[in-house]
């Protein structure tokens, strides 16, 4: 069984704040525009059917879901659902290793 | 052609006017920040794009596909990516134009 372990979340605005603190020579607004621009560029790339490859982080690609016959749960009538692409992420080696390194529950309270 | 960090830095240089060094550094730091958050046990939620979610997996029986030998797959923590509604819709739109 898979369990969801993490309770804490980093959001986009927290990511922006944290980057802005570390790049204090850049205006906060520029960091915000940069992060939003990067995510937009990545989304654009995937919606054009292209891959994203970031060494040490991972790669994003599209997986094809073949057409299938679904059912309208309310009426029970069958509906033909056409094939579609869905985004897929494969974590890179460094990310996999770093995330797994801390998997063991820590003995000392933080 | 796959999108790389170099392309992303180029975009920041051209569209935001960061200098090349700043652009390269910021792209590097962007991914490092996400990695570090995940490493520390945080999920990362980037609205409009998607969520990077941590899951722990228990040990389970596995097999060496070459030799057929049984070896346990150790318990581990892994990252999964759940694309957001907006990204899914945009990617599906691509499928529509290619497959119809």
Are the C-beta atoms of A98 and B42 separated by less than 8 Å?
no
Q: With an 8 Å Cβ cutoff, is A2 touching chain B? A: yes
List the structure tokens of A90.
Answer: 């494969």
Q: With an 8 Å Cβ cutoff, is A27 touching chain B? A: no
Q: Where are the alpha helices (DSSP H) in A11-53?
A: 12-22, 28-47
* pLDDT value, residue A82: 86
Of B4, B45, B95, the CB nearest to A83: B95
pLDDT values of chain A reduced to their tens digit, one per residue, 110 residues: 555 554 689 999 999 999 999 999 999 999 999 999 999 999 999 999 999 999 999 999 999 999 889 888 889 899 888 888 999 999 999 999 999 985 555 444 43
List the structure tokens of B59.
Answer: 């040990």
Residue B96 banded pLDDT, cuts 50, 70, 90: low
CA angle (B72, B75, B81) in 5-degree steps? 120
CB within 8 A of B28, min separation 6: which ones?
B5
Q: How many CB atoms lie within 10 A of CB A5?
A: 15
Find the helix or strand (DSSP H, E) in which A89 lies: strand A84-91
Residue B94 has pLDDT above 90, yes or no: no
* pLDDT value, residue A3: 56
* pLDDT value, residue B93: 79
Q: With an 8 Å Cβ cutoff, is A6 touching chain B? A: yes
Please answer yes or no on whether A2 and B1 come within 8 Å at the CB atom.
Answer: no
* pLDDT value, residue B97: 53
* pLDDT value, residue B95: 57
Q: What is the per-residue pLDDT across B44-57, written as a single tens digit (0 to 9) for each?
A: 999 999 999 999 99
* pLDDT value, residue A107: 42
Q: With an 8 Å Cβ cutoff, is B60 touching chain A? A: no
Number of continuous H segments (helices) and E segments (strands) in chain A: 3, 7
Q: What is the per-residue pLDDT across B3-29, written as a single tens digit (0 to 9) for each?
A: 999 999 999 999 999 999 999 999 999
Of A9, A53, A84, the CB nearest to B4: A53
In eight-state DSSP terms, residue A10 is E
């Amino acid at each position: 069984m898979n369990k969801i372990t993490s309770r804490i979340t980093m959001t986009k605005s927290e990511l922006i704040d944290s980057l802005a603190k570390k790049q204090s020579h850049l205006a906060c607004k520029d960091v915000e525009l940069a992060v939003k621009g990067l995510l937009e560029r990545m989304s654009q790339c995937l919606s054009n059917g292209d891959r994203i490859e970031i060494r040490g982080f991972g790669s994003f690609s599209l997986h094809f879901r073949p057409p299938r016959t679904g059912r309208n749960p309310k009426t029970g009538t069958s509906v033909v659902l056409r094939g579609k692409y869905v985004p897929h992420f494969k974590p890179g080696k460094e990310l996999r290793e770093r995330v797994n390194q801390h998997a063991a529950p820590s003995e000392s309270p933080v | 052609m796959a999108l790389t960090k170099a392309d992303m830095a180029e975009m920041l240089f051209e569209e935001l006017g960061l200098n090349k060094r700043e652009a390269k550094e910021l792209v590097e730091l962007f991914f490092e920040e996400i990695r570090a958050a995940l490493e520390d046990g945080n999920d990362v939620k980037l609205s409009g794009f998607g969520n990077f979610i941590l899951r722990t997996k228990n040990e389970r029986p596995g097999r060496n596909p070459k030799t057929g030998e049984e070896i346990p797959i150790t318990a581990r923590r892994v990252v999964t990516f759940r694309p957001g509604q907006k990204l899914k819709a945009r990617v599906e739109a691509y499928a529509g134009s290619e497959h119809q």
